[in-house]
A and B are shown apart, each in its own frame.
Chain A
Amino acid sequence: MIELTKINRAEAFRYMGLKGDIPENISALADECESRLMNAAAPKFHWVYADISENSGDVVTLSGHRLVLRGKDISEHLSGCFGAALMCATLGDGVDKLLRAVQAEDMAKAVTVDAFASAAVEQVCDIAEREIGERFAGKFTTWRFSPGYGDFPLECQGDFLGAVNAMRTVGVCVTEGGLLTPTKSVTAVIGISEREVPRKRRGCGTCNMRDKCNFRKNGGHCNG
Chain B
Amino acid sequence: MDKKEIFRKLLADNEFVFLDGAMGTMLQAKGMEAGGIPEMLNFDKPQWLKEIHGAYIEAGAQIVYTNTFGCNRYKMAKTGKTPGEIIPEAVRIAKEAADGRALAALDVGPIGQLLEPTGSLSFEEAYDIFREQMTAGEKAGADLIVCETMTDLYELKAAVLAAKENTDLPIICTMTFEQNGRTFTGCAVSSMALTLKGLGVDAIGVNCSLGPKELEPVVAELSKWTHLPIVVKPNAGLPDPVTGEYNVTPEGFAESLCGLVKYGVKIVGGCCGTTPEFIKAAVGALRKMKHVPNAPEIISAVCSPAKTVVIDGPRIIGERINPTGKKRFKEALKSGDTDYILGQAIEQAKAGADLLDVNVGLPDIDEKAVMVKTVKAIQGITELPLQLDSTIPEVLEAALRVYNGKPIVNSVNGEEKSLETILPLVKKYGAAVVGLTLDEGGIPKTAEGRFAIAEKIMNRALSMGIPKENIFIDCLTLTASAEQEGVMETVKALARVKNELGLKTVLGVSNISFGLPNRELINANFLQMCLSHGLDLPIINPNVPAMTGAVRAYRLLANIDKNAAEFIEAYNAAPTAAMAAPAATAASSANKESTPESLIAAVCGGLKGESGSITKELLKSHECMKIVDEMLIPALDKAGADFESGRIFLPQLILAAGAAQAAFEEIKKSMGGSKGVSKGKVVLATVKGDIHDIGKNIVKVLLENYGFEVIDLGRDVPYEDVLNAALDEEVKLVGLSALMTTTLKAMEETIALVKSNKPECRIVVGGAVLTPEYAMKIGADYYAKDAKATVDAAREVYETEVRS
**B-facing residues in A158-213 (Cβ within 8 Å):** 159, 162-163, 165, 167-168, 170-171, 173-179, 181-183, 208-209, 211-212
- Is B43 an interface residue, CB under 8 A from the partner? no
Q: Across the A-B interface, how many residue pairs have beta carbons closer than 8 Å?
A: 184
Selected contact of A176 from candidates B346, B689, B741, CB within 8 Å: B689
Q: How far is the CB of B661 from chain A (nearest CB, A)?
A: 9
Q: Is the CB of A212 within 8 A of B119?
A: no
Selected contact of B118 from candidates A29, A96, A135, A209, CB within 8 Å: A96
- A64 to B34 CA separation, bound complex (whole angstroms): 6
Q: Is the CB of A111 within 8 A of B694?
A: yes
**A-facing residues in B648-666 (Cβ within 8 Å):** 648-652, 654-655, 657-658
Select the residue from A48, A93, A99, A106 with max chain B CB neighbours within 10 A: A93
Q: Is the CB of B741 within 8 A of A16?
A: no
Q: How far is the CB of A154 from chain B (nearest CB, A)?
A: 5
- Is A108 an interface residue, CB under 8 A from the partner? yes
**Known A-B contacts A85-B241, A183-B118, A209-B769; A170 and B184 likewise in contact (beta carbons under 8 Å):** yes
**Known A-B contacts A25-B606, A104-B381, A212-B768; A175 and B691 likewise in contact (beta carbons under 8 Å):** yes
Selected contact of A47 from candidates B119, B241, B272, B648, CB within 8 Å: B241
Q: Is the CB of B697 within 8 A of A103?
A: yes
- Is B100 an interface residue, CB under 8 A from the partner? no
Q: Which of B80-88, B174-182, B317-325 contacts A (4 or more CB under 8 A)?
A: B174-182
Selected contact of B655 from candidates A25, A49, A65, CB within 8 Å: A25
**Known A-B contacts A108-B655, A110-B694; A163 and B35 likewise in contact (beta carbons under 8 Å):** yes
- Is B120 an interface residue, CB under 8 A from the partner? yes
> B residues within 8 A CB of A85?
241
- Is A10 an interface residue, CB under 8 A from the partner? no
- A195 to B251 CA separation, bound complex (whole angstroms): 42
Q: How far is the CB of B126 from chain A (nearest CB, A)?
A: 13
Q: Which of B108-116, B256-264, B539-547 contacts A (4 or more CB under 8 A)?
A: B108-116
Q: Is the CB of A107 within 8 A of B701?
A: yes
- Is B589 an interface residue, CB under 8 A from the partner? no
Selected contact of A65 from candidates B34, B180, B381, B691, CB within 8 Å: B34
- A19 to B646 CA separation, bound complex (whole angstroms): 9
Over the window 109-133 of chain A, the binary record of Cβ atoms lying under 8 Å from chain B Cβ atoms (1 yes, 0 no) is 0111010000000000000000000
> A residues within 8 A CB of B651?
16, 18, 26, 29, 108, 111-112
Select the residue from A18, A25, A29, A104 with max chain B CB neighbours within 10 A: A104
- A85 to B605 CA separation, bound complex (whole angstroms): 49
- A170 to B241 CA separation, bound complex (whole angstroms): 14
- Is A66 an interface residue, CB under 8 A from the partner? yes
> A residues within 8 A CB of B382?
101
> A residues within 8 A CB of B768?
209, 212
> B residues within 8 A CB of A94?
186
Over the window 143-166 of chain A, the binary record of Cβ atoms lying under 8 Å from chain B Cβ atoms (1 yes, 0 no) is 000001000001100010011010
**B-facing residues in A1-53 (Cβ within 8 Å):** 1, 16-19, 23, 25-26, 29, 42, 46-50
Selected contact of B241 from candidates A49, A167, A178, A212, CB within 8 Å: A49
Which A residue sits closest to B379, measured CB to CB? A97
- Is B244 an interface residue, CB under 8 A from the partner? yes
Q: Is the CB of A154 within 8 A of B114?
A: no
- A114 to B119 CA separation, bound complex (whole angstroms): 17
Selected contact of B742 from candidates A26, A42, A97, A154, CB within 8 Å: A154
Select the residue from B180, B209, B381, B688 with max chain A CB neighbours within 10 A: B381
> A residues within 8 A CB of B694?
99, 103, 110-111, 114
Selected contact of A93 from candidates B35, B37, B118, B342, CB within 8 Å: B118
Q: Is the CB of B114 within 8 A of A135?
A: no
Q: Is the CB of A176 within 8 A of B120?
A: yes
> B residues within 8 A CB of A168?
149, 176, 208-209, 272
- Is B771 an interface residue, CB under 8 A from the partner? yes
> B residues within 8 A CB of A103?
694, 697
Q: How far is the CB of A102 from chain B (nearest CB, A)?
A: 9
- Is A67 an interface residue, CB under 8 A from the partner? yes
> A residues within 8 A CB of B183?
171
Q: Is the CB of A111 within 8 A of B698?
A: yes
**Known A-B contacts A1-B180, A93-B185, A179-B691; A107 and B117 likewise in contact (beta carbons under 8 Å):** no
Select the residue from B114, B605, B646 with max chain A CB neighbours within 10 A: B114
**Known A-B contacts A16-B649, A93-B186, A175-B113; A104 and B346 likewise in contact (beta carbons under 8 Å):** yes
- Is B312 an interface residue, CB under 8 A from the partner? no
- A92 to B184 CA separation, bound complex (whole angstroms): 7
> A residues within 8 A CB of B646?
19
> B residues within 8 A CB of A159?
35
- Is B36 an interface residue, CB under 8 A from the partner? yes
**Known A-B contacts A25-B606, A66-B33, A66-B36; A108 and B654 likewise in contact (beta carbons under 8 Å):** yes
Q: Is the CB of A92 within 8 A of B741?
A: no
Q: Is the CB of B343 within 8 A of A105?
A: yes
- A154 to B343 CA separation, bound complex (whole angstroms): 36
- Is B339 an interface residue, CB under 8 A from the partner? yes
Q: Is the CB of A107 within 8 A of B346?
A: no
Q: Is the CB of A135 within 8 A of B241?
A: yes
Q: Is the CB of B769 within 8 A of A178?
A: no
Select the residue from A46, A50, A100, A148 with max chain B CB neighbours within 10 A: A100
Q: Is the CB of A173 within 8 A of B242?
A: no
Q: Is the CB of A175 within 8 A of B35?
A: no
**Known A-B contacts A168-B149, A168-B272, A177-B689; A100 and B117 likewise in contact (beta carbons under 8 Å):** yes
Which A residue sits closest to B771, measured CB to CB? A212
- Is B770 an interface residue, CB under 8 A from the partner? yes
- A174 to B178 CA separation, bound complex (whole angstroms): 21
Q: How far is the CB of B710 from chain A (nearest CB, A)?
A: 13
- A171 to B746 CA separation, bound complex (whole angstroms): 27
- A65 to B35 CA separation, bound complex (whole angstroms): 6
Q: How far is the CB of B242 from chain A (nearest CB, A)?
A: 4
- A106 to B656 CA separation, bound complex (whole angstroms): 11
- Is B692 an interface residue, CB under 8 A from the partner? yes
- Is B690 an interface residue, CB under 8 A from the partner? yes
Q: Is the CB of A179 within 8 A of B649?
A: no
Which B residue sits closest to A111, measured CB to CB? B651
Q: Is the CB of B182 within 8 A of A181?
A: no
Q: How far is the CB of A117 from chain B (nearest CB, A)?
A: 11
Q: How far is the CB of B128 from chain A (nearest CB, A)?
A: 15
Q: How far is the CB of A182 from chain B (nearest CB, A)?
A: 6
- Is B296 an interface residue, CB under 8 A from the partner? no
> B residues within 8 A CB of A50?
34
**Known A-B contacts A108-B651, A110-B694; A167 and B33 likewise in contact (beta carbons under 8 Å):** no
Sample (23) of A-B pairs whose CB atoms are under 8 Å apart: A16-B650, A19-B649, A42-B178, A65-B34, A66-B35, A66-B37, A67-B34, A97-B380, A101-B346, A110-B694, A111-B651, A148-B740, A154-B740, A159-B35, A167-B112, A168-B176, A173-B114, A178-B740, A178-B742, A179-B689, A183-B692, A208-B769, A209-B769
Interface, chain B (partner A; CB < 8 A): 33-37, 110, 112-114, 117-120, 149, 151, 176, 178-180, 182-186, 208-209, 241-242, 244, 272, 339, 342-343, 345-346, 380-382, 605-606, 646, 648-652, 654-655, 657-658, 688-692, 694, 697-698, 701, 716, 740-743, 746, 768-771
* Extra contacts besides A29-B651, A107-B654 (19): CB < 8 Å: A16-B650, A42-B180, A97-B118, A101-B346, A103-B694, A104-B342, A104-B346, A105-B343, A110-B697, A111-B650, A173-B113, A174-B113, A175-B113, A177-B688, A177-B690, A177-B743, A179-B689, A181-B113, A212-B769
- The 8 lowest CB-CB distance pairs between A and B, nearest first, are A171-B184, A177-B689, A162-B35, A104-B342, A66-B35, A101-B381, A108-B654, A49-B242
